[in-house]
A = this chain, B = another copy of it.
Amino acid sequence: MEVCQTNMKNDDSEPQRPAHPGVFPTCKAGKSDHHPVLHTVDFPVSVVLPAGGTGERTGLQTPKQFCSFLGRPLISYTIQAFERVPWIQIIVVVIAKENMDLMMDIIQRFQHIKVRVVLGGSTRHRSICNGVLALGEEETPAADRPKVLIIHDAVRPFVDEDFLYQIAMAAKEQGAAGAIRPLVSTVIATTSEGFLDHSLERAKYRASEMPQGFTYDVIYQAYQRCTESDFDFGTECLHLALQYCGTNAKLIEGPPTLWKVTYKRDLAAAESIIKETLSQSACFITGGLTPAVRLADALQKAVGALNMELDVIPDLTGDNARYLFKEWNFIQVSINQFCPSEVEAVLGALQATNRGLLHPLVVIWVLLRNGDELSISSSAAEPPAIMDLASTVKLQNVLLYGIQLHQSKDSEGWERSVSRVAEIASALIRERSPALVGQLLQA
């Protein structure tokens, strides 16, 4: 996609670390503004995530919600998208019996804290119904019983807080609300012999997507009143709300990132979105040394052209410790020889934050040499040292790579080297390849 890279709008939400346990906020909702960070909701909202699908359409044996992206199953990304929304209380994940152990392991490994697991039924509607009932059970404390319930798919990981807010508010007001998208293809009716009967006028129809929201009463009553045939063959919760509660759902056009991971190609698309989200920024640690600061300045321009933000700091102490808690990648410079204590400080700080829990972190160790013969000949001992360190930190999901460059005296050579460092660093950060950790690359 190299031609388009610089022109792309980022239409994808940015997964972040899960929020801390959701203390239910009591402040009023900011009704008049549209900034997601300021939204809150003054009524209890919980979520049902049906996750009993078999992944037939991807052509995989593993159900698609359990396929891993950078070492973490898709469903964990979806759960995280809800966990980081402070006004969401409980996420009921509905799971087939055979995947129960796997799901419990995922919850434990990725430290999900708002999840309650419920056994699925034989169809999608039976599974969702089990989730709805679980939130109304008598042992649920009254404060936990949701006013609004959001239903979502486990295989739509990129839902964002702003859109959830819109759905929750519309559901509270109208009784039901659902995401829609324009149709990509014309929809046609077929005859029983496989011929065209008629085509629908595209402008009058929409694709019904997820999330959908309901007041708890509406979705509960809809499932109480619907027939066995609805349970067995129905697909559309909004239809049940209309048919059995007389509730016409409010339809809200959602962003393209709401799409459902359905086919094998969608797995590649999801992985690419996740990687892109993790590759937008790097933090360059100079140690306060002049040649390193000079390199950082030159590099800042070069990576900007590659669509990456680069912040330059002397070290990670004090206020700069904030870089450890967001989606930053790290570049540590050493001058003339690798000084393990410098990079070990960064690695240790990252390990202390447990950031490798959710996705692999990239640390690039840059060795800036002044170019005399002595330092070149000493280089043979360093590759094994980086390799050993990289093998160790890989266990904590930190990917360590090395880049070496020589400080050339002519400015043209220097610019060429800097631009190669930028290209190599950018490729390492974007591709996040475990096979290349510990390599010392030449710029």
A160 interface hit (Cβ, 8 Å):
no
Within 8 A of B (CB), among A1-55: 1-4, 7-9, 11-12
- Which B residues touch A379, using CB under 8 A? 380
Which B residues lie within 8 Å of A205 (CB)? 187-190, 200
A208 and B236 within 8 A (CB): no
**Which residues of the partner chain B approach A260 to less than 8 Å between Cβ atoms?**
184-185
Q: Which of B4, B183, B256, B435 contacts A427 (CB 8 A)?
A: B435
For window 36-91 of chain A, which residues contact chain B by CB distance below 8 Å?
57-62, 66-69, 71, 73
Interface size class of A (residues with CB under 8 A): 35 or more
The yes or no answer to A199 lying at the interface (CB within 8 A) is: yes
Residues 137-192 of A at the B interface (beta carbon under 8 Å) = 174, 176, 178, 180-181, 183-191
Tell me whether A251 and B3 are in contact in the complex, defined as CB-CB below 8 angstroms, given that A238-B196, A273-B268, A379-B380 are known contacts: no
Q: Is the interface of A mostly helix, strand, loop or mixed?
A: mixed
**Out of B61, B199, B377, which one reaches A238, CB within 8 Å?**
B199
In the complex, A307 has a CB within 8 A of chain B: no
A-B CB contact pairs (8 Å), 25 listed: A1-B69, A1-B267, A3-B66, A3-B73, A4-B58, A4-B60, A7-B60, A7-B61, A57-B256, A185-B260, A187-B206, A188-B238, A188-B251, A190-B204, A190-B205, A194-B250, A195-B250, A195-B251, A196-B242, A200-B205, A257-B265, A259-B263, A265-B272, A268-B273, A272-B272
CA distance A198 to B238 in the complex (A): 9
Contacts of A282 in B (CB 8 A): none
How far apart are A99's CB and chain B's nearest CB, in angstroms?
13
- A441 adjacent to chain B (CB < 8 Å): yes
A160 to chain B, nearest CB (A): 15
Question: With A242-B196, A256-B57, A380-B379 known to touch, is A267 a contact of B4 (CB < 8 Å)?
Answer: yes
Task: Judge whether A248 is part of the interface by a CB distance below 8 angstroms.
Answer: yes
Contact with B along A219-256 (1 / 0, CB 8 A): 00000000000000001101100100000111110001
Q: A210 to B417, alpha carbons, bound, how many Å?
A: 48
Contact of A387 among B195, B206, B439, B442 (CB under 8 A): B442
Contacts of A174 in B (CB 8 A): 195
Q: Would A264 and B268 count as touching, CB distance under 8 A?
A: no
Q: Is A423 an interface residue (CB 8 A)?
A: yes
> Assuming A187-B200, A256-B265, what are 17 further A-B pairs, CB within 8 angstroms?
A2-B71, A4-B61, A9-B59, A11-B59, A11-B264, A12-B265, A174-B195, A186-B208, A186-B239, A188-B208, A195-B248, A196-B248, A196-B249, A202-B235, A268-B273, A423-B434, A424-B435
Which 9 residue pairs spanning A and B have beta carbons closest together?
A: A268-B272, A9-B59, A427-B435, A265-B269, A3-B68, A185-B207, A423-B435, A7-B61, A195-B248
Check if A217 is an interface residue, CB within 8 A of chain B. no
Judge if A297 is at the interface, Cβ distance under 8 Å.
Answer: no
- A288-321 interface mask toward B, CB cutoff 8 Å, 1 = contact, 0 = none? 0000000000000000000000000000000000
Residue of B nearest to A239 (CB): B199
**Contact of A188 (CB < 8 Å), options: B57, B236, B250, B387:** B236
A383 at the interface (CB under 8 A from B): yes
A66 to chain B, nearest CB (A): 7
Determine if A184 and B272 form an interchain contact, defined as CB atoms under 8 angstroms apart.
Answer: no
Q: Which of B62, B189, B209 contacts A185 (CB 8 A)?
A: B209
